[in-house]
């Protein structure tokens, strides 16, 4: 497989063409950003960790019957994925109150939610990714009614699978963000990444943050923390 020209550069990844139009070459970058890019740093080792963690999680989800775009790892910080048209929505699932949910609704961080809550945000940096409801999504033609039903179902299935996965390595899955893509035949695939950059992960016993809140809130170095998540996931596979 040949690495072709740069197609897209995001905050944490670069996407390249390959000689197969259905396949994209992804390079995970050592860049961390927060506050819609206002806070930005180079963090050596971060790209490798998120590449590895995402691959393990996507393989696990595939085994649970959740279709996703991950094909295989190429190197420490590179992977191949299926080409999809990304739906410009961030689908957030919450099991425990934290972050923007806690702030907006004045619910203390750490309050368990009786049932998972699904939220949609419009992926648009200029607008600062506003939260949207199903009527907004239809008005903006971001997804069809049928796709919205599928997105919700897939997001809840991912939640159920990941709560179990993380629980088995003594981590509580607080919340996370997903992105989905459309294939040419119109079917939906889970896409993007699932890593401590996109999830809130709390150690079950100590309640320590094992995720990007360490960076967002200046609580310390993220590399040893992300490494700890990877170590626990790898040990589980033994
Ligand atoms: N999240 C993400 N990318 C974003 C916004 C949120 O991966 O652009 C993840 C975040 O890591 C957390 C969940 O989505 O696991 C919910 O984030 P929240 O809405 O609480 O926003 P934040 O507090 O990060 O601003």
Q: What is the pLDDT of residues 41-80, one digit of tens each?
A: 999 999 999 999 999 999 999 999 999 999 999 999 999 9
The residue whose C-alpha atom lies closest to atom 25 belonging to ligand 1 is 100
Contact 176, 211 (CB under 8 A): no
- CB under 8 Å to 95, separation ≥6 — which residues? 112, 113, 116, 159, 163, 172, 173, 174, 175
Distance between Cα 89 and ligand 1 center (Å): 13
The answer on 106 and 154 residing in a single domain is yes
Question: What's the pLDDT at 107?
Answer: 98
Q: Which residues contact ligand 1 via a Cβ below 6 A? A: 90, 92, 98-101, 129, 175-177, 198-200, 212
Whose structure tokens read 């709390």? 202
The residue whose C-alpha atom lies closest to atom 7 belonging to ligand 1 is 198
The verdict on residue 234 lying in a domain is no
Q: To which H or E segment does residue 164 belong?
A: helix 145-167
The answer on 206 and 144 residing in a single domain is yes
CA–CA separation, 108 vs 120, rounded Å?
Answer: 21
**Closest approach atom of ligand 1 to CA 176:** 15
The verdict on residue 43 lying in a domain is yes
Domain of residue 47: give its range.
3-82
Q: How many domains does the chain have?
A: 2
Question: What's the pLDDT at 237?
Answer: 66
Please provide residue 8's backbone torsions phi and psi, each rounded to the nearest 5 degrees: -160, 140
Q: Which residues pair with 28 in a beta bridge?
A: 13
The answer on 181 and 107 residing in a single domain is yes
The verdict on residue 227 lying in a domain is no
Question: What's the pLDDT at 123?
Answer: 97
Task: Name the stretches of the chain with pLDDT < 50.
Answer: none
Distance between Cα 177 and ligand 1 center (Å): 6
Question: What's the pLDDT at 157?
Answer: 98
Question: What's the pLDDT at 1?
Answer: 87
The answer on 116 and 60 residing in a single domain is no
Question: What's the pLDDT at 238?
Answer: 60
């Amino acid at each position: 497989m040949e690495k072709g020209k740069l197609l897209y550069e995001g905050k944490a990844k670069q996407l390249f063409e390959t000689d197969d139009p259905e396949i994209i070459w992804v390079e995970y970058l050592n860049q961390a950003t927060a506050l819609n890019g206002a806070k930005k740093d180079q963090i050596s080792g971060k790209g490798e960790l998120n590449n590895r963690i995402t691959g393990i999680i996507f393989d696990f989800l595939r085994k649970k019957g959740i279709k996703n775009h991950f094909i295989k790892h190429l190197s420490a910080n590179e992977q191949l994925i299926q080409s999809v048209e990304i739906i410009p929505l961030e689908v957030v699932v919450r099991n425990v109150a934290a972050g923007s949910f806690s702030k907006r609704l004045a619910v203390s961080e750490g309050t368990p939610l009786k049932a998972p809550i699904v939220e949609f945000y419009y992926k648009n940096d200029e607008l600062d990714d506003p939260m949207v409801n199903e009527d907004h999504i239809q008005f903006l033609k971001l997804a069809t009614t049928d796709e919205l039903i599928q997105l919700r179902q897939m997001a809840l299935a991912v939640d159920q699978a990941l709560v179990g996965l993380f629980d088995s390595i003594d981590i509580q899955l607080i919340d996370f963000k997903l992105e989905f893509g459309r294939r040419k035949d119109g079917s939906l695939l889970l896409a993007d990444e699932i890593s401590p950059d996109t999830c809130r992960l709390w150690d079950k016993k100590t309640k320590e943050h094992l995720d990007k809140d360490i960076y967002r809130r200046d609580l310390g170095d993220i590399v040893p923390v992300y490494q700890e998540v990877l170590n626990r996931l790898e040990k589980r596979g033994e």
